[in-house]
Amino acid sequence: MENKQTKTIYRCNQVKNSIFVGIITARGGSKGIPFKNIYPVCGKPLIQYTIESAIGCGFLNRIIVSTDHAEIKRISLSLGIEVFDRSEELSSDLALSTDVVINVLKKLEVEGAMPDYFVLLQPTSPLRQSWHVKEAVEAFMSSNCKSCISVTEAEYSPYKMMKLEDEQLKPLFGIENLHAPRQLLPKLYRQNGAIYISSCRDFLEYGTFFIQPVYPYVMQLEESVDIDNFIDIIVAEYYLKTCIHHVKNCEKKS
């Protein structure tokens, strides 16, 4: 039977012997917040937090920002990050992150530089630290899973939710669940958009981040702020200014 030390050595060797690319998807357009990905958050462009977490994790052999926006490109290059120009089609409101990642991987394939794994880091997660990325990669590589998705515990249980049907409220999952104590309901999780990991081969075959079995990298709610509107900016700045434990955890895990 493998002991903990043996498993740790095996995990480290797996990570060391694999090639990882970090992909940051950052288009210029945004309806909720104009030029959201470069909006100043505590004095820094939003995307800079993600770039710093990618650089700091220490596992990414190459980091690429996919963008259609000149200022995002300028900021990324100034921080030493490679940029792939994104087409107008892949920069629309309806463009899917999966298609953007496929586009990046296809370009790498043409270069003859296809990595073993990719780590997708969306720029709207400023509370995601470099140690989160490092920890997620290590946990995923030591599992038997085909993909990893970061999640946080759902704030509201869908078992308590209702729908409108013929202008009437109807329970989504039965009346008995509406009155059930929260402790008796299943603990549920939602994607927080911070980290996605998969082998490039599997992703190109299935075209989805949800390749089963999926390893759940669980993050705290305050670490899971996903910037979509100005209220999210206020919440993120509050945590960035007041949650000292983020700095302590970062120092502890590095």
Task: Tell me the range of 13-22, 167-176, 195-204, 240-249 where mean pLDDT is highest.
Answer: 195-204
Q: How many CB atoms lie within 10 A of CB 225?
A: 25
Would you call 118 helix, strand, or coil by DSSP? strand
Confidence of residue 107 (pLDDT cuts 50, 70, 90): very high
Reported residue count of the chain is 254
Q: What is the rounded CA–CA span in Å between residue 143 and residue 49? A: 28
Mean pLDDT across 167-186: 88
Helix extents (H) in 58-94? 70-78
DSSP assignment of 54-94, as one string?
HHHHS--SEEEEEES-HHHHHHHHHTT-EEEE--SGGGSTT
Radius of gyration from C-alpha coordinates of the chain: 20
Residue with tokens 């502890």: 252
How much of the chain is helix, strand and coil, in % rounded to 5? 45, 20, 35
- pLDDT at residue 3, as a whole number: 53
Indicate if the pLDDT at residue 9 is higher than 50.
Answer: no
Does residue 11 register a pLDDT over 90? no
Q: Which CATH superfamily is domain 4-152+190-253 in?
A: Spore Coat Polysaccharide Biosynthesis Protein SpsA; Chain A (3.90.550.10)
Bridge partners (DSSP) listed for residue 25: 66
For the chain, the structural domain boundaries read 4-152+190-253
Q: In this model, does residue 254 exceed pLDDT 50? A: no
* 152-162 residue pLDDT tens: 999 988 899 99
**pLDDT band for position 26 (50/70/90)?**
very high
**Average pLDDT, whole number, for the chain?**
89
Higher pLDDT, 3 or 208: 208
Which of 80-84, 199-203, 241-245 shows the lowest per-residue confidence on average (mean pLDDT)? 241-245
pLDDT at 207 over 60: yes
Please give the pLDDT value at position 30: 82
pLDDT at 16: 64
- DSSP line for 201-230: HHHHHH-SS--SSEEEEE--GGG-----SH
